[in-house]
Amino acid sequence: MADRANNIFELREVSYCYPNDEWALKNINISITRGAKVALLGENGAGKSTLMLLLNGILKPTNGSIQFENELICHRRKALRKLHQKVGFLFPNSDDQLIAPTVYEEISFGLMNLYKDENLTRKKTEEIISHFDLKQIQHKSPHQLSSGQKKMVCLAAILAMEPEVIICDEPASHLDYKSEQLLFVHLDRLNKMGKTIIISTHNIDQAYEWTDETILLHQSQLKAHGKTTEVLSNSKLLKEVNIPSPTIISLLNELNIDIPTNNPPKTKKDLAQLIYLNR
């Protein structure tokens, strides 16, 4: 994370205060690596959503500065438009995001704003619809869909615009197991294409196995930032912020197996191997 040119976001002493004088973030210093999968963890009210809104330029930091691709985020209209084009935001509540009478038109909305060309928009919309398997529901009203389908439509609508960074605020909320898996498969594929993905979640196991970096927030302050395996295998730290250890780590603790500090097991397979070696 030391390499500055490789950082997509750089936050310096960022604080944010809501209009009702509530400090949601205080003195945050973070650099986010380009192409990383980043987990944003913390209790309810820790400031995760606020931080995400700051990254997308929707909120303006009260103090401090945020750089995107080595340029200060400017809150003028034109500059913001450029930022929004490159940073997609998946809202926690799909209903807030859905505005069009049909799924097809919902997906076309951002594209039309971007390209201002109907034929190109149609082409891209149809591409993303078939990519996301939304063909059967493309003429339905978004408000008739299940929450999993709604989430997919929202994600498709954002991804259609081909952003560099995808910020997902609690993407798995309201999703059943299968939809959640599908969502993460999509996100994984995007990550392989070089996109940076930032998610906030309460699913600690998911965060542990899926992400590369973890940002830990606690009571509006940055508690830790580093490699996921390092941050989340630190049981003492997690206890301080009222977050349980990932299953893999707590299992090793139960078994009294020392966790290799340089290379903690990341997947269930790694875990099985480690247990096998220590039997």
Partner 1 sequence: MFIEQIYNHNHRLHQQHLLARGAYILPAFILTLCSHSIAFNSLIVTIYILLIRYISNISGKHLVRLFSIPLTFISLGCITIAMHVTFPLKVQFIPANTELAILIFTKSFALIAVLFMALMIYTISEIAAVFRLIKVPSLFIELFVLMYRFNMKLLSNTKQLYLAQKCRLGYTSNKQAYRHIGLLFASVFQSAIKANKTTEIAMTARLGNHQYHFVSPHRTFCWKACTYPLFLASLLLMFYLILNF
Ligand X SMILES: Nc1ncnc2c1ncn2[C@@H]1O[C@H](COP(=O)(O)OP(=O)(O)O)[C@@H](O)[C@H]1O
Q: Does 49 bind ligand X (CB under 6 A)?
A: yes
230 binds, among ligand X, partner 1, Mg ion, none (CB under 5 to 8 A by kind): none
What CA–CA distance (Å, rounded) separates 219 from 104? 41
Q: Does 168 bind ligand X (CB under 6 A)?
A: no
What CA–CA distance (Å, rounded) separates 70 from 5? 7
CB of 23 to Mg ion, least distance (A): 16
CB of 85 to partner 1, least distance (A): 6
Q: Does 44 bind ligand X (CB under 6 A)?
A: yes
Number of residues that bind ligand X (CB under 6 A): 12
Q: Does 196 bind Mg ion (CB under 5 A)?
A: no
Q: Does 60 bind ligand X (CB under 6 A)?
A: no
For residue 263 the two structure tokens come to 């290379």
Q: Does 196 bind ligand X (CB under 6 A)?
A: no
Residue 205 in contact with residue 211, Cβ under 8 Å?
A: no
Query: Is the Cβ of residue 198 or residue 274 nearer to ligand X in the bound state?
Result: 198
Sheet containing 7-18, strands listed edge to edge, beginning at the edge strand earlier in sequence: 22-33, 7-18, 63-68, 71-72
Applying CB under 6 A, among 50, 201, 211, 214 the residue interacting with ligand X is 50
Q: Does 18 bind ligand X (CB under 6 A)?
A: yes
Q: Does 227 bind partner 1 (CB under 8 A)?
A: no
Residue 259's alpha-carbon distances to 56, 110, 240, in angstroms, are 37, 47, 20
Q: Does 49 bind Mg ion (CB under 5 A)?
A: yes
Number of residues that bind Mg ion (CB under 5 A): 1
Q: Which ranges constitute the DSSP H helices of the chain?
A: 48-55, 77-86, 94-97, 103-115, 118-131, 147-159, 177-192, 204-210, 228-232, 235-240, 247-254, 268-277
What CA–CA distance (Å, rounded) separates 147 from 131? 19
For residue 234 the two structure tokens come to 């630190």
Ranges within 92-151 binding partner 1 (CB under 8 A)? 93, 95-97, 99-102, 104-106, 108-114, 118, 121-122, 125-126, 138-141, 143-144
- Sorted by sequence, the CB contacts under 8 Å of residue 125 that are 6+ apart come out as 104, 107, 108, 111, 160
Residues 52-91 as x/- pattern, contact with partner 1 by CB under 8 A: ----x-x---------------------xx--xx--xx-x
What CA–CA distance (Å, rounded) separates 100 from 122? 15
At 242, is the secondary structure helix, strand, or coil?
coil
Q: Does 201 bind Mg ion (CB under 5 A)?
A: no
196 binds, among ligand X, Mg ion, partner 1, none (CB under 5 to 8 A by kind): none
What CA–CA distance (Å, rounded) separates 65 from 72? 7
143 binds, among partner 1, Mg ion, ligand X, none (CB under 5 to 8 A by kind): partner 1
- Which residues in this chain contact partner 1 in the complex, by CB under 8 A? 56, 58, 80-81, 84-85, 88-89, 91, 93, 95-97, 99-102, 104-106, 108-114, 118, 121-122, 125-126, 138-141, 143-144, 157-158, 161
- Which residues in this chain contact ligand X in the complex, by CB under 6 A? 18, 20, 22, 24, 42, 44-50
